Chain A
């Protein structure tokens, strides 16, 4: 379903993604793990047509996202790591625009939006402007929006950060159900390693733009000789704390420096 070959992305003098190749099978749930600045988000951005790779090949449901953008875009849905809501609109309006953009038949729109808002417990606040929402509420709305249409591939970039364990559980159950019922391929990143351990069929660990380990959670634990995936992850990537490197999405700081 996803095929990546020798993918490279350079930003000026810094290589965010360095020669990465992997495959994701249809219906698989894949966790893409790595410390901050490992190149996870940059990879997702290239897979989802919003960044052009420096070199390398991507096939998404058989389409190349850098050339057949429209066809590729029909194949996936995405929940972004950072905000993608219009804060001056209400929760319902944000959902409705999404429904139109993703061509959900008009008869189903209202019902689906209601159902998902109920699922993330925002139904009673649907007429409120998003700017009045708390961080967790925005996050939940973000996820509800991503689940509104049922794509072949669902990308989730740290979907559950900042949510309480109850909500996280609730959401992963739903995603798992969609995966089983609709054979939806799921590609996600997270810093809650236990989520990957529980949910993922397979795990890819990246660091400094390179893949350092691939396998089922069990295989990776065995490889590193650790009891749980979190310890395995730390032994693979080291204990040092990283800074997020500026990618294409931090324009203000980059401009200031250039002047």
Chain B
């Protein structure tokens, strides 16, 4: 248990010490919020869909969570390069504990990043119903963070150099974000398109967050929750297996 805690704490400390990383990674979501929010807002309203910002903010939060979470897998590759991976791998603790500690750390960091984006959205007029909604939203943010941290970890276990990781992840993140309904409503979409979107785990994360923060969910909340939960379990097994197989 303490192993999990200390490796979690390690991630948090490293995150809090890298101020430039925190600020740098906020640039993109802020840009998306301003450009899309103000740019597409009037059209959205004209189409009778209401306030676009209210619709968009949960999507942007998810986007920044996905970026941070998947890239926390990259830290395994850094640890390999700087040697700390060996330190963990020869220690008399189970690989599962290491994997869980790291993933919870990465997921916490991604959740914090999501919360910062949420706080920033308040500056441009986003509001949430009440504190209870915020609490549920945090739970969902953590689930999304954990899911994609596990995905990033799994990918990092398969690769040894970080250029390859970046290449694959960039290939993955864009479709994940754009085919999730982060930016547009899922009503009245072409059937095939909707089918593709329904296979994307992020779709349910975005939907859950939108349901709690803005009350604009497409699916039922318990539906989103169970799907996210099942995928997290599956990814935990896959990533643990891959992590148990890596050699330093």
Contact = CB atoms under 8 A, between A and B. Distances in A.
A73 B90 contact: yes
Contacts of B17: 88
Interface stretch (A46-54, A188-196, A236-244): A46-54
Contact of B86 (A50, A74, A76): A50
Contacts of A83: 82-83
Contacts of A80: 83, 86
Interface in A72-90: 73-74, 76, 78, 80, 82-89
Interface stretch (B6-14, B112-120, B169-177): B6-14
A93 B12 CA distance: 13
Give the size category of B's interface with A. Answer: 20 to 34
Given A83-B82, A255-B160, A97 B10 contact: yes
Contacts of A26: none
Contacts of A86: 10, 14, 79, 82, 84, 87
Nearest to B91: A101
A100 B87 contact: no
A70 interface: yes
B89 A100 contact: no
Q: Is the interface of B mostly helix, strand, loop or mixed?
A: helix
Contact of B92 (A50, A87, A88, A102): A102
A70 B92 contact: yes
Nearest to B15: A88
Nearest to B6: A100
30 contacts: A45-B248, A50-B86, A50-B89, A50-B247, A70-B94, A73-B90, A73-B91, A74-B92, A78-B90, A82-B83, A83-B82, A83-B83, A84-B83, A84-B87, A86-B10, A86-B87, A87-B82, A89-B10, A89-B13, A93-B10, A93-B13, A97-B7, A97-B87, A100-B2, A100-B6, A101-B6, A101-B91, A251-B160, A255-B160, A255-B164
Interface of B: 2-3, 6-7, 10, 13-14, 17-18, 79-80, 82-84, 86-94, 160-161, 163-164, 247-248
